[in-house]
Structure 1
């Protein structure tokens, strides 16, 4: 259960105090949690996520429209997709510690729901929806600009980091890229994979994820950032 201190902690993190605290609680409440409550059932995050998704699409579109006056619709759509896709939103959510605030049912908890990128990303959108209802479009905009649109170039790299890393390494004739599992954590039903990416014999980055593919993507992203430092 979310405590008052949890709510205050999150409000302090994002720099906004909710008039209606129930909206924030709803944003962090999964349907599995609601289904296990016998009395005093509260709504889950799904309606807020629906609203937040629309607000996020509108504000990210406005941002790109103003920033790139010469780009065509297709180009802007591609950039927007990289910024607001599920892995990118889950990555953004790490700064907010969304996992800590999730209200999940016992079954969802047991099957690793707290680490599912789909749920984490949905809850980010639900928070945007809650902010829109409680504080209006400007509060939603502040949140989106601070946590979603802060590092556009990085998020574009993150969305396709393996391909971008391949292009960089090939262009500089650095050798072969190799991904290796360098660790596994957690029970079988909720395993986290740690992957290292090597260019030649050197380890350029490590990433963790619920799947090997997700861990490889994060490792590749770390490697790109490392290679950019070397330049």
Structure 2
């Protein structure tokens, strides 16, 4: 049998190990390790969070701050790196960098998942949110310049390929709308609930996309209207590419 003192020692040892992992990710030793531990370890421990709900509130506040600081740093970086790009193009590239999917992937590469005591909480979005909160913490600890150095070294220079991002499609639906406007085609989305399972709390949406005058109709399914429309637009995109190649051959 373990005594309460033994359990306390185990928890202290866990905290010490996880704080060291956080420091390794940060690249410096922060002054406020107590706050670091409370926000980034206790916020995701169900047992400890119940003792003090302010942990998760502080996490959300840091996430809010980190999101704003990250956008500011990346905007400055893109303006310097891509002086020929217009506002709309810069906005699109920045959106690709800070989109949830990309931040989740960067968090994974930075081994942020290793700091969680309970592995069941490490969903993709939690990883991206934690990265933003860490950036907020860094800003408070070492200021804007130190935070900028972190973002440049650990994110932009290590895990962001600007050339590749410029050629990636951020949203197939947005691409479809821009393509149809440019080529003077009308597109029409019809989206409705296809299936609903109340026991499993599951709803499946079906989207039908029609491109009038281009003889293309596609369907897409997803757990939300946005996802189903994106899937329909994605299928239409590949059909358009295939059709255009045939036209060029002839």
TM-score range, shorter chain: 0.5 to 0.7
Q: Of the two, which has the highest radius of gyration?
A: 2
Question: Which of residues 133, 150, 153 is equivalent to 1:146?
Answer: 153
Structure 2 match to 1:57: 71
1:5 is paired with a residue whose SS is helix
- 1:5, 1:158 → 2: CA distance? 41
- 1:122, 1:31 → 2: CA distance? 12
Unaligned 5+ runs, structure 1: 164-212, 214-231
2:109 is paired with a residue whose SS is coil
Question: Which of residues 111, 121, 130 is equivalent to 1:113?
Answer: 121
- 1:80, 1:161 → 2: CA distance? 11
Structure 2 match to 1:207: none
- 2:19, 2:44 → 1: CA distance? 20
TM-score, L = length of structure 1: 0.58
Structure 2 matches for 1:1-231, cutoff 5 A?
A: 3-29=15-41, 33=45, 37-40=49-52, 42-44=54-56, 45-103=59-117, 112-114=120-122, 116-150=123-157, 151-153=160-162, 156=165, 160=169
Q: Return the structure number with greater helix share.
A: 2
- 2:114, 2:20 → 1: CA distance? 13
Check conservation: 2:25, 2:110, Cα contact below 8 A: yes
RMSD: 3.1
Unaligned 5+ runs, structure 2: 1-10, 173-226, 228-250
2:22 is paired with a residue whose SS is helix
Structure possessing the higher relative contact order (Cα contacts under 8 Å, 6 or more residues apart) = 1
Runs of 4+ residues over 6 Å off in structure 1? none
What is the number of residues matched between the two proteins? 158
From the superposition, tell whether residues 38 and 92 of structure 1 become closer, same or farther in structure 2 (CA, over 3 Å).
closer
- 1:75, 1:18 → 2: CA distance? 37
- 2:167, 2:55 → 1: CA distance? 33
TM-score, L = length of structure 2: 0.54
Structure 1 position 58, deviation (Å): 0.4
Which moved further from structure 2: 151-160 or 37-46? 151-160
From the superposition, tell whether residues 158 and 98 of structure 1 become closer, same or farther in structure 2 (CA, over 3 Å).
farther
